[in-house]
Amino acid sequence: MSRRVYTDGVFDLFHANHLKLLREAAALGDYLLVGVATDKMTESYKRTPVIGEAERLEIVTAIDCVDEAFLIDGIPDAANLEATLQRYDIDLVVYAGDATPDYYRPAEQRGIMHRLPYHEGTSTSSIIQRIKSQ
């Protein structure tokens, strides 16, 4: 039986740390599913993405270690993740970072949450700052 791994993100201005997350998540199972936050969802808790959702989805889908990618929409809350876990029959949820947002509570409660260390260096925010300062 294959192990279905799920991770998600905005993946705006796709960079090396995004790639590291996807590769590390894929190594934890046999099938990697990736949720790409829609523009509307992202705007509800962050900022408007520089690259639109269709292009971000196309980029993530093209990564070799990604078996399936899809847009996730709605409110970034536990109910939204619960629906994704059920719809895609997820065995493991991967998140990069120390703190775990409430959004990931269903994975925590099921005991299927796996945290990866956050990689220092390039981030979408740092790319935007560099562009603004030039």
- pLDDT on residue 119: 77
Q: What integer pLDDT is reported at residue 76 of this predicted model? A: 85
Q: Does domain 4-133 have CATH number 3.40.50.970?
A: no
Confidence (pLDDT) at 99: 66
**CA nearest 82: which of 99, 111, 107?**
107
Q: Which of 119, 88, 128, 111 minimizes the C-alpha distance to 7?
A: 88
CA distance 64 to 102: 30
Q: What is the mean pLDDT of the chain?
A: 92
Residues of the chain under the 70 pLDDT cut:
98-100
- Largest CA-CA distance found in the chain, in angstroms, rounded: 51
- Residue spans of the domains in the chain: they are 4-133
pTM (two decimals): 0.91
